[in-house]
Structure 1
């Protein structure tokens, strides 16, 4: 077993990968392939997280409210954003259940409170094996009534001038005020990564619907390539590229559209992919990052 660090950090190692993990946020702090970072610290409240789990949903809730089963539920902001953001997992202290040199399993349990009406238990498993990083995330509804749940991961990848992204999706959602999705549209030419393309030099914060669960990232300057494969549960890819920082970008596999609670009027009666889980019901999904020389 790997001995814990005084600040709670753990390090997982395989022949090619070194991954630093923290129970704070259930997050990855850094991830290197043969000494070269393929995840970089840029997220979280203090920009120290390189990847974190999205649970019990990802992104924002419009007006900090939702209606489920005819009942209205309210949220309170949980970060500097005025809208409740990314659920609870990324801000919580997770309990380490299993730990070895190449494997870590954490859990987090939450009761309904003044900030969020959700009650659930989440489990996050991080594993390295030779040149692969595996992330498995699950959530179980502990509430009395059926509730809508979603899962995702929020990795921060290095961004270089020659970074190439390849990912295939069926539709694109434009962005409106509050960083919320606006309308389903055809994918714009500048954001069409189906055949592989350089990252554009512009603000991007959009959901790509009907993602096929595969993505490839190549960094010619770093001599490195990454293949991402996700379970069918994750059929939305969220791309985030800020303009105030050009050293990273995000490709976030999600099981649902952002703000799915408030999209029924747009022809999405299924809550944008969010799943109603009865008490004791569970959903889980896994994704794999495979690294290789470019």
Structure 2
């Protein structure tokens, strides 16, 4: 494993012993600011492998750290978080109508019946400018008609990831490089440590109910809405749902460990996904610009999100995770 820093190669930091060095064959970028660390795996979908704090008792992980298998299998789904471009979550039957034609995304991944999370997470990202506490990653997509289900629009995606003011900041941006309008959405997919005492706080107004394929059916009330305002246990419901009209702030708390992590988002991250499956160790609270299947959704734009980028148009917005102890 290579660890790219201001000096091209350096040994793996002692607190990263939770990784199996022998199992890794990828480039890592480690950011440092005070006691905070962020470890990036550009070759694995531009993913974040870990966000933690160095303590006398060892690393205190604020996101679920990647395991060696995530690197062996180049699997962003097993990372701490990964970027979502050019849409978030599922597209029903991997197709939608746009600008007078059908966009067919079928065949790009046999694991999923519906297109999932766009395509940027399936490719290596390039490392750009960096300092000890920040790095820029970028991904350029060139459509290939020979690839089944390839996204048919040319675009550029970027992440500026930095440790600043005691927080992890990720600025996502994209530009439509196609000569025609392009439907678009973006987000990040963070996984959090989940224990029996974990609580999730967020002020939301309604939940998108979903069918057996985890595709939205209608927006309405649900007990999880009130539970989130009061501090919801991930074990309270079986969730893989979008929530509407959140205040763009959510807190994941571990009261038994006397710590919490607050996530804030800029517009247009006006939608939030909670993935808290029953009897499972996974927990995701995801800031996104569009609901599941937004390109097929019928309804007011503010309820489904997403946008259309004109040729050459750019979009950018920032996410922030602030850890607190005590």
TM-score of the alignment, normalized to the shorter chain, above 0.5? yes
**Distance verdict in 2 for CA 1:272–1:46, change over 3 Å:** closer
TM-score normalized by the length of structure 1: 0.92
Residue in 1 that maps onto 2:75: 45
Deviation at 1:177, TM superposition (A): 2.5
**Where does structure 2 lack aligned partners over 5 or more consecutive residues?**
1-5, 11-24
Query: Mean Cα displacement is larger for which, 75-84 or 149-158?
Result: 75-84
- What secondary structure does 1:39 align onto? coil
**1:233 maps onto 2:253 in alignment:** no
**1:75 maps onto 2:87 in alignment:** no
1:207-246 to 2 correspondences below 5 Å: 207-243=242-278, 245-246=280-281
Residue in 2 that maps onto 1:22: 41
Residue in 2 that maps onto 1:256: 290
**Where does structure 1 lack aligned partners over 5 or more consecutive residues?**
none
Deviation at 1:187, TM superposition (A): 3.0
CA–CA distance in structure 2, aligned partners of residues 221 and 89 of structure 1 = 37
Could you report, residue by residue, the CA deviation over 1:266-289 in whole angstroms, capped at 9, with x for unpaired residues?
A: x23679211111110011110111
TM-score normalized by the length of structure 2: 0.83
Residue in 1 that maps onto 2:324: 292
Greater length-normalized contact order (CA 8 Å, ≥ 6 residues apart): 1
Deviation at 1:198, TM superposition (A): 2.5
Residue in 2 that maps onto 1:163: 198
- What secondary structure does 1:9 align onto? strand
**Distance verdict in 2 for CA 1:203–1:100, change over 3 Å:** same
CA–CA distance in structure 1, aligned partners of residues 7 and 41 of structure 2 = 14
- What secondary structure does 2:89 align onto? coil
Residue in 2 that maps onto 1:9: 28
Deviation at 1:30, TM superposition (A): 1.0
Could you report, residue by residue, the CA deviation over 1:141-189 in whole angstroms, capped at 9, with x for unpaired residues?
A: 1112111111111000011111111101121011113221111011325
- What secondary structure does 1:118 align onto? coil
CA–CA distance in structure 1, aligned partners of residues 295 and 247 of structure 2 = 23
> Which is helix-richer, 1 or 2?
2
> Which is strand-richer, 1 or 2?
1
- What secondary structure does 2:196 align onto? coil
**Distance verdict in 2 for CA 1:209–1:3, change over 3 Å:** same
The alignment's C-alpha RMSD in Å is 2.1
CA–CA distance in structure 1, aligned partners of residues 303 and 205 of structure 2 = 18
CA–CA distance in structure 2, aligned partners of residues 112 and 252 of structure 1 = 27
* Contact map agreement 1:25 1:89 (CA 8 A) in 2: yes
- What secondary structure does 2:295 align onto? helix
CA–CA distance in structure 2, aligned partners of residues 69 and 150 of structure 1 = 17
